[in-house]
A = this chain, B = another copy of it.
Amino acid sequence: MKPGDRLHVVILAGGSGTRFWPLSRAKRPKQFLSLAGKVSLLRATWDRARTLAPAERIWAVAPRALAAAVRQELPELRRDRLVLEPSPKDTAPAIALACAVIARSDPRAIAAIFPSDHVIRDTSAFKRAVAVARKAAAAGALVCLGIAPDRAATGFGYLKLGARRRSGVASPVLQFVEKPDAERARRFLRSGRYLWNGGMFVWRIDRFLDELARVAPEVHGATAAVAAGSRAAWRDVPKISVDHAVMEKASRVAVVPLDAGWDDLGSWDAAARHASTGRDGRGERVMIGSEGAVVFGGTRVVAILDLPGVVVVDTRDALLVLPRASSEKVKSVLEAVRSAGRADVL
């Protein structure tokens, strides 16, 4: 086996997020929910990772507060493969720490890094894209997996290509573009030269750590110290995303298109598109005159009358009812619940 040939998978198992309240809670964020299928998003991410590498080369990185939940959800995860952040600090520190830890035993490994709160429907297409990315990574590129946009979404960052996208090929990234307004997003969609930044990366760990040391030395130094055993150094790590800290400034950044039924499941409306309506094996659902209505959670009989497209989220101590079209506004509900003195259910 040549140096740089061994693929390790890093699952980003942290991340909070409030968009799926009340099914998600501070102690049970989105990746632990079964929003698209029978298993949790985190579990599905593990299962995909296993198609790429054996369990001993699959890592998870998560804030200490979620350690027990991650171990419970992923019993096959080796204890020494769970990298714990003393506190959550966004993606750059999490990824840097995981890479620094892996580097201690396998410094020329290739790492494939995946969020655990997205859906990927087509595992075969996913594997093919990772294989292409892996080759480019072995040759020294920092590779992103980019999603071909199917609508002018304003909720994602975009990757600008030098030419129209071609599947099965790694292309240089000309620019990282932050979430655009609607008009720019429409232009991006028409041009065929932009992909969504899905937050998935493949690279040689030595290449990544070299770039990190060059463009974000404060992240590099502190995470290296933590990887070497100094938990106190975490204090000095800035909160910053890997896009801002590294990718926007690094050299030899490439992208491989991923066309594998990806969805970031960013709202109840998105989850509703993946949910099966009607009886889901837990509670009984009775829907009359309510096309597109969806019930999440719960074990009770839930009856919906004349409310097309309504979302009902039914949990033991909190209930949320809203139209799918208002899914982006769940945050305002959480603020109101907090103001009402009921942070205990958040």
Contact = CB atoms under 8 A, between A and B. Distances in A.
Interface of A: 22, 279, 284, 286, 288-289, 298, 300-307, 310, 312, 314-323, 325-326, 329-330, 332-333, 336-337, 340, 342, 345
Nearest to A314: B319
A63 to B, nearest CB: 26
26 contacts: A22-B303, A279-B340, A284-B342, A286-B336, A286-B337, A301-B317, A301-B319, A301-B345, A302-B319, A302-B321, A303-B318, A303-B320, A303-B321, A304-B321, A304-B322, A305-B321, A305-B322, A305-B323, A305-B330, A305-B332, A305-B333, A306-B325, A307-B307, A307-B310, A307-B321, A312-B319
A288 B333 contact: yes
A301 B329 contact: no
Q: Which of A303, A318, A319, A337 has the most CB of B within 10 A?
A: A303
Identical chains in the assembly = 2
A345 to B, nearest CB: 5
A325 B286 CA distance: 19
A330 B289 CA distance: 12
A316 B300 CA distance: 8
A314 B320 CA distance: 11
A25 to B, nearest CB: 12
B322 A319 contact: no
